[in-house]
Structure 1
Amino acid sequence: MAAPEPMPRALLAISKVEHTLSVIDPQTLAVVARLPVGPDPHEVVVSSDGARAYVSNTGYGAFHEIDVLDLAHFKVLPAIDTRPLLGPHGLAYVQDKLWFTAQGTQAVARFDPQRGEVDWMLGTGQNTTHVIYVSPDAKAVYTTNVDSGTVSLMREVMVQPTVPPTGVLPAGARPRLDWRQTLVTVGQGAEGFDVSPDGRELWTATPAGTLSVVDLASAEVLQEDLHLQGAHRVGITPDGKYVLIASVGTGELVVLDRRTRQEVKRLTVGRGASLRMDPVGERVFIACTPDNFIAVFDLNTLAVSAHLDIGGRPDGMAWATRRE
C-alpha cells in the first residue's frame, strides 16, 4: 500500500495477528496505511504533536520493546529497548514524555524521547501492573495491578525532611518532591479503567462483574455487581454522561448513567477487549479481539453503526491529531 498524505486526524489500531498498525480515515473508516510492528503488540499511544506513534510489545511480561513509528512519513523508526524494565504494556504521552507500565517488573516508568532514555521509574510492588493513566500536569499516575486486584494511586508530593534521633536536622535539609503510592483494592483481574473528565473518579471492573468507583481524593471505593461476566474494558464519554463497560467473555456492552450509576442499555456488540472514545464525534470504537473486528458504537442511538476489519485480533487504539 502506497504511503498516503498525512491526515489532520486518524484512528490507529493494532492487529495482533498481522503485527501491524493500521491508519484509519475517521470519516470514511477506510484503512489508508499499514505499518509493521513488533512480535506482541498490545497498546498504542501518540505524541502530543501527532508525529510519532508508540506501540508496546508485552510478551506476557517478558519482552522489552516499544515500537516507534513516524506518522508524518509512514516509516518505522528504531525501537525503544526498555530493559531492564520488562513487559511494557500500558502507555501514556504527557508533558512530552512517554510513560509506560512494565508489568514483568512491577513498575511504571517514564521515557524522555529527546534524551533517548528512561528518566524516572517507580515500583508498585504489585503483580501485573497493566494499564496506565497520567494526569495532564504529570503529578499523578494511576495503574491497575491485575493479579494483585489493586489500583495504584501514585502522586508527587512535598515531603518534609525527617528529624533524626538527635532532634537536629542536617545542614541543608530542605523539603523535597517525592512520590507516594496508595493502594486501593478493587478485585482480582481488574484491567481496564477510565478517569472521569473532572478528574475525581476512577472506574474499573473485574471479570467477575464487580464495578468499582474510586474517589480519587479520598481513595474510598464504592462497589456493586454489574452482572456482567468477563467485564474487561471501561470507558467514560468525553462529556462524562455515560460509562461503557465491555465484556470480553459474553460480548455484551453495558451503558451506565455516570451520575446515577443506573443501567441505561445492555446489548451485544462483540467480545470487547479495548475501547476508544472519539473525542470530537459521538462514537466509541470497540476492538473485539476474539471476534476479529472493530465495532463502531453510536452514542446518539446507543447502537452499533459499522464494523471495521483491520486484520486478526484487533486490540489497542489511539487517535493521532497532527499539530504544526
Structure 2
Amino acid sequence: MTVMLVGCSGAPPVTAPPPPAAASQGARPSAPQATAPAAPAARGESAAAPEEPPRAAAHVAAQLTVDKAIVIGKWPEGVAVVGDTAWVAESGNRRVARVDLKRGEVTARVTVGRLPVQVVASPAGAVYTLTHTDQTVWAIDGQTARARALARLPDSPEDMVYADGALWVLLWSKGSSTGSSVVRIDPATGDQRRSPELGRDAFALAVGHGRVWVAHGDGDVSVVDQRSLKPLDDLHIGDSHRRIAAGPGAVFTDVRSGVIRLDPVSGRATHEVALGELVAVLRQMGDEVIAVGQSGRTWLLDPDDLTIRAILAPPDGVRTPHGAWRYGEALLLTEFDDAGAAGKDDGRLLILRSSPR
C-alpha cells in the first residue's frame, strides 16, 4: 500500500538573519491526538474553549524512502515547483538551482544575490527569490534561467510569499527583530507599499482570507488588512510561532511542538495537535496540511480538524530539512547539515516516496 501525499502550504535573533544555524531535533513521538484547545483571543481578552470535543487521531504509519537524492550545493533552503521543474534556493552560493525532477538532475544555476533563502512561484509559473543580505527580490525567467532584480527592499527581509497576484515580504526594522512590517510588491513593476509597525520577533507571514498573518516569536499573530495594509488585530495564540500558512478554510501556525488551526473570521483557535518536535516546514497544498519536523518526520493533517492522516518516518541519513513541497505522490525535501554547514557543498534535494511500515 502506498500513502499518497494529496497536498500540504532558542532565543530569537536580534540582528539581520545570519546563515543557517544548528537546529535541535525532537524525540520521535508515538501517535499524538488532535484536540480542541482553549480558544485564544486578542491580547487582554479571555475566551471560552470550543464546545467541540477532542478527536482521536486516525493515522497511517509509513516509511519514507529516497527515490532520488540530488546534490544541490551549499545550504539549499526554499523550494518551489512549476510543472516538472523544481527551483531551489542555494543560499550559501548565491544561486538558485533549476532541477529537472523527472531526470533527477540540476539543469541550470542562476546567479542572484547574497543569501537567497525563499523561492516562490505564481500560479502562471513565474519564479521569484529573496536575497536576505542584499535585501532584493529577483524575478527568474523559467525558460532562459536568467534573473533580474525586481525590487530593492527598504529594510531587512525575513520571509516572502506569493499570493493574490502580489509578492508579500516580511521585514525587520533596521536589521533588528525589535520591529517588523509587511511590504506588498507588484510583480510586474516592482512598486512597493509598506504597512505600519507590527511588533517584535516576527518570523513568518501568510496571506489569505483578505488578511496578512504574521507569526511572532513572543506568541502573537498580527492580522493586517490585505488591501489597506492597516493592522487589524494582535492575537495571542500561545507559545513561540515561527511558521504560518493560510489555506482555503483556515490559517495554521506552529505552537510549542505542534500545530494550531485558526478560524480566519474570528481569529480564534479551533483545534490543536501535538507533534512532539519543533516544526521546520508548515504549509497547506490541496486538501492536506503538511508539517515537517526538524528530524524530517512528516505529518499529513486534515485541514478541517488537524486529524493526523499519516505519519511518515524519515529515511536514515536525512539531515535538517529546510524546504518541502508535494510533487505528485512524492515529497520533496531540501536538507543539509546545520552543524557543519560552514564548509560543505553537499546539501541535497530529496525526492521521497512512502511505503507502509
Quote the residue 1:143 is aligned against.
169
Percent identity among equivalent residues?
16
Structure 1 pair 230–75 and aligned structure 2 pair: CA distance change class (3 A): same
Q: Distance in 2 between matches of 1:97 and 1:72?
A: 20
Quote the residue 2:251 is aligned against.
243
Partner SS state of residue 191, structure 1: strand
Q: Give deviations 1:41-88, integer Å, cap 9, x for gaps.
A: 2110012xx1210111224xxx40212211121122232221xx2111
Map 1:194-205; keep pairs closer than 5 Å: 194-196=206-208, 198=209, 200-205=210-215
- Could you tell me which runs of 5 or more consecutive residues in structure 2 were left unpaired when the two chains were aligned: 9-20, 23-61, 330-357
Which letter maps to 2:100? D
Q: 2:303 aligns with which of 295, 299, 304?
A: 299
Q: Give deviations 1:227-273, integer Å, cap 9, x for gaps.
A: 42320111122x32x211113xx213222111211111233213112
Map 1:161-310; keep pairs closer than 5 Å: 179-196=191-208, 198=209, 200-237=210-247, 239-240=248-249, 242-247=250-255, 250-269=256-275, 270-279=277-286, 281=287, 283-289=288-294, 291-304=295-308, 305-310=310-315
Structure 1 pair 318–117 and aligned structure 2 pair: CA distance change class (3 A): same
> How many Å apart are 1:191 and its aligned residue?
2.4
Q: Does 1:71 align with 2:81?
A: no
Partner SS state of residue 103, structure 2: coil
TM-score by length of 2: 0.66
Q: Is the 8 A contact 2:219 2:237 kept in 1?
A: yes
Q: Is the 8 A contact 1:112 1:118 kept in 2?
A: yes
Q: Which has the higher contact order (CA 8 A, sep 6+)?
A: 2
Quote the residue 2:41 is aligned against.
none
TM-score by length of 1: 0.72
Partner SS state of residue 186, structure 2: strand
Q: Distance in 2 between matches of 1:318 and 1:299?
A: 17
Structure 1 pair 97–265 and aligned structure 2 pair: CA distance change class (3 A): closer
Q: Distance in 1 between matches of 2:267 and 2:7?
A: 30
Q: Is the 8 A contact 1:210 1:223 kept in 2?
A: no
- Could you tell me which runs of 5 or more consecutive residues in structure 1 were left unpaired when the two chains were aligned: 1-7, 18-27, 158-176
Structure 1 pair 302–10 and aligned structure 2 pair: CA distance change class (3 A): closer
Aligned-pair Cα RMSD in Å: 3.0
Q: Is the 8 A contact 2:281 2:324 kept in 1?
A: yes
Quote the residue 1:105 is aligned against.
134
Q: Distance in 2 between matches of 1:103 and 1:229?
A: 26
Q: Distance in 2 between matches of 1:10 and 1:43?
A: 20
Structure 1 pair 244–10 and aligned structure 2 pair: CA distance change class (3 A): closer
> How many Å apart are 1:222 and its aligned residue?
2.4
Partner SS state of residue 89, structure 1: strand
Q: Give deviations 1:268-321, integer Å, cap 9, x for gaps.
A: 213112112131x3x2111112x4422222335523341331512222112335
How many equivalent pairs are there? Answer: 266
Partner SS state of residue 228, structure 1: coil
Q: 2:117 aligns with which of 73, 89, 97?
A: 89
Q: Is the 8 A contact 2:163 2:207 kept in 1?
A: no
> How many Å apart are 1:40 and its aligned residue?
0.7
Structure 1 pair 29–54 and aligned structure 2 pair: CA distance change class (3 A): farther
Map 1:119-134; keep pairs closer than 5 Å: 119-127=148-156, 129-134=157-162
Question: Which protein has the larger Cα radius of gyration, Structure 1 or Structure 2?
Answer: 1
Q: Is the 8 A contact 2:235 2:267 kept in 1?
A: no
Which letter maps to 1:92? V
